[in-house]
Amino acid sequence: MRSIRDIQKQVTHDEAMEMLGQSEYGVLSTIDKNGYPYGLPLHYIILDEAIYLHCDLEGHILDNLSYNNKVSFTVVGYTQVLPSSFTANYESVIVFGEGTLVEGTEKIKMLKALVEKFSPEYYDKGLKIIDAFKDKCSVIRINIEHITGKKRR
C-alpha cells in the first residue's frame, strides 16, 4: 500500500486505531460493476481489530461487495478551520480491507456492541429491537489489511 506523503503528520498504528475507535461514523467506499466508486456514511464499531457496520438487506453497498469485496473506510475526527492561516487542524484515518457479510452469533455480537456504543442507557430496549430486526439488516465486517492516520494540530 502507498504510504502517507507528509510523514510528519503520520500517526502510529495505535494512534490510528484509537482515532478510529473514538469516532461515530465513517464513509465506506466500494466499487460498482461499472468501475465507479460509491461512498456511504455509516455508523460503526470496532470489535476484535475489525470494523463492523450494518446496512439494509439489499442495496448498492451489498451489490458492490458481491462484485468486489475490496473496500476503504475513512473517518474524520477532530477538525478546526484556521481562516487567518488558510489551513486547518484535523485528524483522519483511512482503512483498506475486505468487506464480508457476517451472520449468526457474530452478527448479534456486533449489534449488541452497536447498542452499547450509541445507546448504553437503553441497552435492554436495544436488545428487544435487535431481536425484532436482526433478520432485517445486514452486518459487514471489514478486516483491516492496512491503516494510516494523520493529524495536524
Task: Specify if 76 maps to a domain.
Answer: yes
Enumerate residue ranges in the chain where pLDDT < 70: 2, 7, 9
Which domain range does residue 24 map to?
Answer: 7-102+139-152
pLDDT value of residue 54: 95
Answer yes or no: is 60 within a domain. yes
Query: How does pLDDT run across 29-54, given as a tens digit for each residue?
Result: 999 999 999 999 999 999 989 999 99
* pLDDT at residue 5 in the model: 72
Structure confidence at residue 1 (pLDDT): 73
CATH code (residue 57): 2.30.110.10
Asked if residue 80 is part of any domain, the answer here is: yes
Q: Which three cell numbers stand for residue 27?
A: 464513509
- Predicted confidence at residue 71, as pLDDT, reads 98
Q: What does pTM read for this prediction? A: 0.90
* 54 falls within a domain: yes
Number of CB atoms found within 10 A of residue 77's CB: 16
Three-state secondary structure call for residue 105: helix
Compute the chain's Rg from CA coordinates.
17
Asked if residue 62 belongs to a domain, the reply is yes
Split into its structural domains, the chain has a count of 1
Distance, in Å, from the CA atom of 13 to the CA atom of 39, rounded to the nearest integer, reads: 24
- Does residue 51 belong to any structural domain of this protein? yes
- At 117-130, the pLDDT tens digits run 999 999 999 999 99
Q: Is residue 2 part of a domain?
A: no
Whether 82 maps to a domain, the answer reads yes
- Distance, CA of 73 to CA of 58 (rounded, Å): 20
